[in-house]
């Protein structure tokens, strides 16, 4: 069986959650998804993460910025502060096209900024964006180039053992829009 | 008078006259041995000549004193001055002199100091006698030299110096003295004062002379005729000559010519009198506001100052002939000339000068104007002499002023000039008085007006002291005039704003510039309200600030409303923004899931189902554009300083707009042409938005059968740039030209021409934001032209 991609989706709109699943299926990405439907649930997930069976450490986080209770930016900051999630790639999902939101997300190390499109085919492209990000981050999952059975954190540990500091990898990801930070989603933007 | 200078050698020269025997030679030898210079005179004539040239002493043998010799010697000695007492040493034969000799010697006695030396003579006696004699003589010469020096000095002093004795007879005068009277010293010395200075002056001086002879020093000023008969001012000093026993022997008189000094003093006094008079005139008239009042004062003061019989002021009518005497001052109080006259009834010469604006001086109407017609009028008016100054303004004689005399009068140049000055100033005083009276009148009107307006109002002097407030001020502040007049208004100011108010107000006062500021003022209830204060300077004709008019307008309510409105607008825009945003979310769901449903159904989708799904997606699209436009519309209301201050190149904005509608241009094969467009102040992005909307409309409402042609033009018109977008589309009725700029206003069904009805509203909002106007002209079936005008930015 293919290794599933562990995804944490933080999204308050069940419709959008459904669409994310559709997009993953559309692109044949095996996944296991945990859903936090608001900021508070996300914070709660974070507190349990790695300790309980229902809160595994995710390979990838999909984060809606417009969240009730605790805002998306705040949630992102909390995850970044967690030792197990400093490097976990984050794709920001949003209906906002405000430059302010986009800049903030990039500054906080989001791998992609995906504006939710109102056209189905456009939305389904999210699947390829997820695949791209996971591949860039060297996360092994079904159908990927990496060795099966190796989780992303384990891979990171191996990298560190080889002398590549995780800071180096973070640096590559965080340099700025020209080094791979692209906004995916509705091209009308 | 002065003897020729005697050399020092001759002071000590011994003359020897002993014509018989060896005496002369022996004496000469003896004196030579004693280093005394001597000269032997062989004859009496020789002796007399030598004496005149200068001599120390004379040794003369008794036997040489023949009567004729005595005669000659006496004569020469008499010519010596009073200073001389020539030592004469007579060598006698021995024994008692004979009677004859005695008698002869007695004749010489008063003329010299006679010493008899008896022969045989001892040599040392002779030398000693000679030395004694020479010493005495040297002293006499010294006295004479000093006397000569003194004379030289006194002669050259520009002061009349004389010595007058008790009998009031001149004993001595200097050259200046004799020259004054044009006489020689000899003609004066020996004569009495009375004789020399003449009876009238002597009478004046007599008392002073007596005082001097009583031993007092006297100084006085008097007048004295000089040799050419001119009476000159002199200062006289008498210094008594008092002998040791206290008796007054006479006095020294010093007389100095002070005519020039007196003249300068008189000129100075005249000038200062004149200045004082003009100063008083200015001072007295300053407070007056009625021109008649000014002229009454001027006429009286001028007549009094010039000691004239009268002074009048007359207005000249526009016919330049009729003159109305408005003010007449008469020293006698007759005041006869008030009334109307015709200038032409006076002498032609006089009227011609007056009409040309020239000062006319008549010294005696009877004498000068006798031959002229009209001189009788002067007589009738009792005017014999006058100085008349006309006022000519803009080439027209408008007034005249004259100072008159009932008797002939020889007006001096200074008097005429003074009168001209007075008249010149009077015109200025009248102007000033008129201006002040006008000002007072307008102030009165202003006060009346100011009490009816709802603003607080006040007036201040040029220096900033407030002297009047309207009733509204007192009603609002609850103050009283005595506490707020001047600078007391500060008490109703807030301590935080007062310093900047004072600074601004003082700046305005010193520069004469208007003042405008918003600050709070305390009301009678102790609470502050915000006022807009405007103060404007009021200037006279010369541009000098004479008053300040200020108003305080209560803008508290206005300010509050504005703030509330701004807040409300902000809230509304924020609401519109968020609402538009949140409205888009459910729409997205509707759209995406409709598509998903169709996908899932796959082959089960019927054509009807496809049609329905089409309606869903059209509805969603339309709703989306509505929301997007609403978002744009709400965004344009934000006052962004950065956008407001920028400049927009309309050519660039148009290029962007054309690019954005390119697909539609291709589709319709439209032709777009444009002129070169100006740069205006505004935001380029927003201007591009306007073009985009207007171009979209032109491309949308085009005729199917015709190639759309769109032209964008620009014209400069009266400080504005007017941009036009002309099309050849379907057009619309001009009746709708205004309605189409309203929110959600549409002329067509969405099925025919889709649209949100917000495009033009957005354009209007953008253009108005930059202080422009937008309008349209159209004709159904012909086409539409949309215009917008924006300020060219060159006028602030």
Residues 624-643 of B with CB under 8 A from A: 624
- The β-bridge partners of B722 are B715, B789
Q: How far is CA B502 from CA A113, B474, B489, B510, B517, in A?
A: 58, 21, 11, 12, 11
Provide the token pair at B639.
């006052």
Q: How far apart are CA A57 and CA A32, in angstroms?
A: 11
Contacts of A100 (CB under 8 A, 6+ apart): none
User: Is A99 at the interface with chain B, CB within 8 A?
Assistant: no
Q: Does B596 touch chain A (CB under 8 A)?
A: yes
What is the pLDDT, as a whole number, of residue A143? 56
Q: Is A22 on the interface with B (CB under 8 A)?
A: yes
Give CA angle at B205 (B204, B211), nearest 5°.
130
CA distances from B537 to B438, B543, B687, B775 (A): 16, 10, 43, 42
Contact flag B592-A96 (C-beta cutoff 8 Å): no
Q: Which residue of B has its CA nearest to A118?
A: B588
Chain B residues closer than 8 Å to A95 by CB: 581, 584-585, 588
Compare CB distances from A22 to B585, B591, B596 and report the shortest one's residue.
B596
Question: Considering Cα of B408, then B414, then B416, then B419, what sign does the dihedral take?
Answer: negative
Distance (Å, whole) CA B238 – CA A139: 139
From the list B718, B294, B593, B103, the residue with the least C-alpha distance to A13 is: B593
How far away is chain A from the Cα of B589, in angstroms, using its nearest Cα?
7
Rg (CA), chain A: 15
Residues of A in contact with B596 (CB under 8 A): 19, 22, 120
Q: Please judge whether A119 and B596 are an interchain contact, meaning their C-beta atoms are less than 8 angstroms apart.
A: no
CB A111 within 8 A of CB A90: yes
Residues B504-556 have pLDDT tens digits of: 999 999 999 999 999 999 999 989 999 999 999 988 877 888 889 899 988 88
Rounded to the nearest 10 degrees, what angle do helices B23-33 and B123-156 cross at? Answer: 70
Q: Do A116 and B588 touch (CB under 8 A)?
A: yes
Query: Sign of the C-alpha dihedral, residues B357, B363, B364, B368?
Result: negative
Q: Which pairing describes strands B528-539 and B545-554: parallel, antiparallel, or unpaired?
A: antiparallel
Q: Is the pTM of this model over 0.90?
A: no
Residue B566 burial (CB count, 10 A): 11
Provide the residue count of chain B: 796
- Tell me what the pLDDT averaged over chain B comes to: 85
At A128-139, the pLDDT tens digits run 999 999 988 888
- Of A108, A68, A74, the C-alpha closest to A91 is A108
- Give just the sign of the alpha carbon dihedral B238, B239, B243, B245: positive
Cβ within 8 Å, pair A15-B624: no
Which residue from B360, B394, B362, B358 is spatially nearest to B375, judged by alpha carbons? B362
3-state secondary structure at position B55: coil
pLDDT score at B713: 94
Q: Of B715, B648, B727, B725, whose CA–CA distance to B688 is shortest?
A: B648
Cα distances (angstroms) measured from residue B169 to each of A80, B209, B254, B256? 138, 12, 15, 20
Contact with chain A for residue B467, Cβ under 8 A: no
Biggest CA-to-CA distance, chain A: 45
Find, among A35, A31, A37, A25, the residue nearest to A6 by Cα: A31
| Phi/psi of residue B614, nearest 5 degrees | -60, -45
Token duo for residue B714: 């620009």
What is the distance between the alpha carbons of residues B507 and B493, in angstroms, rounded to a whole number?
A: 18
- The 3-class secondary structure across B229-260, one letter per residue, is CCEEEEEEEEEEEECCCCCEEEEEEEEEECHH
pLDDT in the model for residue B10: 82
Q: Which of B706, B722, B713, B622 is nearest to B671 (CA)?
A: B706
Q: If you search the block for the tokens 């405008």, which residue do you land on?
A: B516
Helix, strand, or coil here: B618? Answer: helix
pLDDT for the residue B164: 92
- DSSP states of B639-667: --HHHHH-EEEHHHHHHHHHHHTHHHHHH
Ranges of residues in chain B with a pLDDT under 70 are 1-8, 333-338, 365-377, 637-645, 793-796
Judge whether B588 is closer than 8 Å to chain A, CB to CB: yes
Residues in B touching A125 (Cβ below 8 Å): none
Total beta-carbon pairs less than 8 A apart between chain A and chain B: 33
pLDDT at B672: 93
Three-state SS across B386-419? EEEEEEEECCEEEEEEEEEECCCCCCCHHHHHHH
For residue B377, how many other CB atoms are within 10 A of its CB? 17
B477 close to B523: Cβ distance less than 8 angstroms: yes
Closest residue, chain A, to B582 (C-alpha): A95
- B120-157 burial, b for 16+ CB within 10 Å, e for fewer? ebeeeebbebbbebbeebeebbeebeeebeebeebbee
pLDDT at B446: 74
Chain B residues inside the 8 Å CB shell of A15? 589, 592-593
ipTM of model: 0.70
> What are the structure tokens assigned to B517, written together?
């500021």
**DSSP string for B119-168:** SS--HHHHHHHHHHHHHHHHHHHHHHHHHHHHHHHHHHSSEEEEEEETTS
Q: Which two tokens stand for residue B250?
A: 């006479």
- Report pLDDT digits (tens) over B562-588: 888 788 777 777 777 777 777 778 888
Residue B514: its pLDDT value, please?
A: 92
For residue A179, is it left (φ>0), alpha (ψ between -120 and 50) or beta? alpha
Pairing mode, strands B322-330 and B310-316: antiparallel
User: How would you list the strands of the sheet with B396-405, edge to edge?
Assistant: B339-342, B322-330, B310-316, B396-405, B385-393, B360-362
Q: Look at A15 and B592 and tell me if their CB atoms are within 8 Å.
A: yes
Tell me whether A53 touches chain B (CB under 8 Å). Answer: no
d(CA B457, CA B447): 9
| CB distance B429 to B309 below 8 Å | no
DSSP annotation of B287 reads T
Choose among A53, A3, A56: nearest CA to A31. A3
Task: Write out the E strands in B498-632.
Answer: 515-522, 528-539, 545-554
Closest CA to B456 of B427, B425, B489: B489
Q: What is the pLDDT of residue B431?
A: 78
Q: A22 pLDDT band (50/70/90 cuts)?
A: very high
Q: How far is CA B602 from CA B17, B595, B598, B605, B612, in A?
A: 186, 11, 6, 6, 15
A181 pLDDT higher than 80 = no
Alpha-carbon distance of B99 to B202, in angstroms, equals 54
Contacts of A96 in chain B (CB under 8 A): 581
Burial class (CB in 10 A: 0-12, 13-18, 19+), B418: buried
């Amino acid at each position: 069986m293919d290794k599933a991609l562990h995804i944490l989706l933080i999204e308050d709109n069940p419709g959008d959650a459904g669409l994310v699943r559709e997009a993953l299926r559309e692109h044949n990405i095996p996944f296991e998804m945990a859903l936090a439907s608001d900021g508070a649930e996300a914070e709660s997930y974070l507190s349990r993460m790695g300790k309980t069976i229902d809160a595994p450490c995710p390979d990838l986080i999909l984060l809606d910025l417009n969240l009730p209770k605790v805002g998306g930016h705040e949630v992102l900051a909390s995850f970044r502060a967690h030792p197990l999630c400093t490097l976990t790639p984050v794709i920001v999902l949003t209906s906002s096209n405000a430059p302010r939101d986009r800049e903030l997300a990039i500054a906080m190390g989001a791998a992609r900024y995906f504006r939710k499109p109102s056209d189905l085919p456009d939305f389904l492209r999210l699947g390829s964006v997820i695949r791209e990000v996971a591949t860039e981050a060297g996360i092994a999952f079904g159908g990927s180039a990496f060795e099966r059975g190796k989780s992303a954190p384990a891979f990171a540990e191996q990298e560190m053992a080889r002398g590549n500091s995780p800071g180096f990898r973070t640096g590559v990801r965080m340099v700025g829009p020209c080094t791979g930070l692209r906004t995916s989603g509705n091209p009308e933007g | 008078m002065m003897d020729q200078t005697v050399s020092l050698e001759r002071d000590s020269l011994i003359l020897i006259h002993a014509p018989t025997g060896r005496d002369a030679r022996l004496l000469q030898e003896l004196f030579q041995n004693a280093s005394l210079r001597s000269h032997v005179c062989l004859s009496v004539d020789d002796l007399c000549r030598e004496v005149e040239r200068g001599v120390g002493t004379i040794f003369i043998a008794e036997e040489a004193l023949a009567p004729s010799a005595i005669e000659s010697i006496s004569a020469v000695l008499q010519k010596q001055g009073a200073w001389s007492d020539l030592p004469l040493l007579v060598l006698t034969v021995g024994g008692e002199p004979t009677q004859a000799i005695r008698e002869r010697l007695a004749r010489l006695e008063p003329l010299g100091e006679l010493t008899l030396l008896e022969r045989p003579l001892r040599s040392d006696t002779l030398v000693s006698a000679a030395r004694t004699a020479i010493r005495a003589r040297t002293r006499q010469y010294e006295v004479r030299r000093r006397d000569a020096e003194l004379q030289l000095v006194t002669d050259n002093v520009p002061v009349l110096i004389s010595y007058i004795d008790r009998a009031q007879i001149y004993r001595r005068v200097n050259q200046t003295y004799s020259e004054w009277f044009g006489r020689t010293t000899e003609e004066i010395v020996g004569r009495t004062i009375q004789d020399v200075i003449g009876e009238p002056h002597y009478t004046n001086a007599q008392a002073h002379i007596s005082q001097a002879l009583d031993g007092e020093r006297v100084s006085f000023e008097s007048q004295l005729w000089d040799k050419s008969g001119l009476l000159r001012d002199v200062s006289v000093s008498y210094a008594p000559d008092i002998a040791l026993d206290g008796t007054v022997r006479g006095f020294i008189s010093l007389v100095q010519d002070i005519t020039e000094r007196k003249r300068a003093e008189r000129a100075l006094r005249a000038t200062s009198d004149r200045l004082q008079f003009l100063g008083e005139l200015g001072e007295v008239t300053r407070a007056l506001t009625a021109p008649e009042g000014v002229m009454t004062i001027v006429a009286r003061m001028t007549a009094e100052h010039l000691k004239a019989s009268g002074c009048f002021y007359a207005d000249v009518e526009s016919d330049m002939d009729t003159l109305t005497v408005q003010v007449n001052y008469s020293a006698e109080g007759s005041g006869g000339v008030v009334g109307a006259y015709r200038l032409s009834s006076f002498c032609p010469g006089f009227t011609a000068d007056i009409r040309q604006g020239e000062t006319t001086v008549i010294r005696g109407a009877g004498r000068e104007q006798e031959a002229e017609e009209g001189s009788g009028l002067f007589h009738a008016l009792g005017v014999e002499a006058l100085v008349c100054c006309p006022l000519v303004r803009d080439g027209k004689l408008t007034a005249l002023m004259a100072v008159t005399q009932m008797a002939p009068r020889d007006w001096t140049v200074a008097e005429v000039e003074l009168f001209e000055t007075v008249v010149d100033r009077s015109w200025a005083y009248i102007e000033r008085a008129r201006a002040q009276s006008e000002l007072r009148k307008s102030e009165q009107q202003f006060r009346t007006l100011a009490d009816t307006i709802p603003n607080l109002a006040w007036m201040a002097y040029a220096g900033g002291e407030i002297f009047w407030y309207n009733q509204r001020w007192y009603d609002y502040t609850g103050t009283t005039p005595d506490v707020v007049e001047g600078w007391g208004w500060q008490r109703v100011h807030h301590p935080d704003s007062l310093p900047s108010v004072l600074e601004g107000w003082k700046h305005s006062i010193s520069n004469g510039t208007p003042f405008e500021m918003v600050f709070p003022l305390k009301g009678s209830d102790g609470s502050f309200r915000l006022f807009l204060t405007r103060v404007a300077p009021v200037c006279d004709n010369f541009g000098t600030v004479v008053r300040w008019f200020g108003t305080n307008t209560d803008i508290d309510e206005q300010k509050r409303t504005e703030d509330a409105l701004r807040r409300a607008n902000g809230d509304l825009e924020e609401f519109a923004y968020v609402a538009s945003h949140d409205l888009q979310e459910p729409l997205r769901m509707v759209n995406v899931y409709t598509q998903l449903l169709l996908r899932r159904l796959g082959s089960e989708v019927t054509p009807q189902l496809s049609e329905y799904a089409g309606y869903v997606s059209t509805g969603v699209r339309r709703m989306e554009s509505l929301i997007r436009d609403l978002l744009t519309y709400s965004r344009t209301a934000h006052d962004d300083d950065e956008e407001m201050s920028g400049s927009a190149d309309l050519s660039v904005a148009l290029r962007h707009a054309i690019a954005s509608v390119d697909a539609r241009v291709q589709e319709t094969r439209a032709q777009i042409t444009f002129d070169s467009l100006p740069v205006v102040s505004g935001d380029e992005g927003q201007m591009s938005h306007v073009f985009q909307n207007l171009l979209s409309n032109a491309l949308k409402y085009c005729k199917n059968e015709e190639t759309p042609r769109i032209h964008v033009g620009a014209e400069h018109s009266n400080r504005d740039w007017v941009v036009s977008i002309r099309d050849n589309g379907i057009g619309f009725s001009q009746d709708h030209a205004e309605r189409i700029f309203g929110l959600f206003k549409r002329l067509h069904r969405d099925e025919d021409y889709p649209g949100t009805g917000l495009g033009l509203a957005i354009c209007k909002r953008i253009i108005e934001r930059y202080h422009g106007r937008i309008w349209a002209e159209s004709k159904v079936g012909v086409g539409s032209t949309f215009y917008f005008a924006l300020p060219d930015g060159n006028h602030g």
